[in-house]
Amino acid sequence: MNLTLTVDDATTVSALWLQPPQPLATYVFAHGAGAGMAHPFMAALSQALFDRSIATLRYQFPFMERGSKRPDSPAVAQAAVRAAVAAARERLPGPPLFAGGKSFGGRMTSQAQAAEALPGVRGLVFVGFPLHPAGKPGVARAAHLADVQLPMLFLQGTRDELAEPGLLRSVVDELGDIATLHVEDDADHAFHVRVRSGRNDAQVVQALAEAMAQWLPRITR
């Protein structure tokens, strides 16, 4: 279902709502910096979650809505996150609500939560958290995660050029029991796997959806 979200008095963005017959949870799913909500990976993961009775709300950041290649400032992106969370909560108020997204979208969601709690959100799910720029390992982008104060699930690939595995593991370990790391062997930042891995990209998407579906009930008991 196509929706329109109001970010502020001057800004609206498009959204896609996918609700299974008996939803167990809702995931507010933000896109990355390089592709919008209709990207095949976003669509495939949303469908895989639908098949596991998880509703999704995908939405555009304002920069993507207007066709720009330059991502929004954190303030603008976080306003879009808040608008999407509010819309999802209003559309399906019963089941537990989760938020996050692919790369940039996940980081903007966590920054929003760290700045001021997202009403109703029970946990965050990162689909390829961008820990550092490619070729420049570091953990500065994770500094705000200590202020999130919600359960967090990190879905990552072992070949992710934006999250060196050892550094990411140290970040997750430092966060303690509040954080869970799920690793997909041979997957890169786009969750693409090589033929020699013995799997294909579609199987990785299913594995990501299953990891999320297994994690959500554990933190809502």
Domain residue extents for the chain:
2-219
Residue from 188, 200, 109 nearest 152 by CA: 109
Q: Is domain 2-219 classified as CATH 3.40.50.1820?
A: yes
pLDDT, tens digit, 9 for 90 and up, residues 115-128: 999 999 999 999 99
Per-residue pLDDT band at 79 (split at 50, 70, 90): very high
Q: Give the contacts of 159 (CB within 8 A, at least 6 positions apart).
A: 186, 187, 188, 189
Q: Are 96 and 220 in contact (CB under 8 A)?
A: yes
pLDDT, tens digit, 9 for 90 and up, residues 31-77: 999 999 999 999 999 999 999 999 999 999 999 999 999 999 999 99
Residue from 93, 4, 17 nearest 55 by CA: 17
- What's the confidence (pLDDT) of residue 219? 80
pLDDT, tens digit, 9 for 90 and up, residues 127-176: 999 999 999 999 999 999 999 999 999 999 999 999 999 999 999 999 99
Per-residue pLDDT band at 9 (split at 50, 70, 90): confident
Give the whole-angstrom CA distance, residue 160 versus residue 114: 24
**221, pLDDT greater than 80:** no
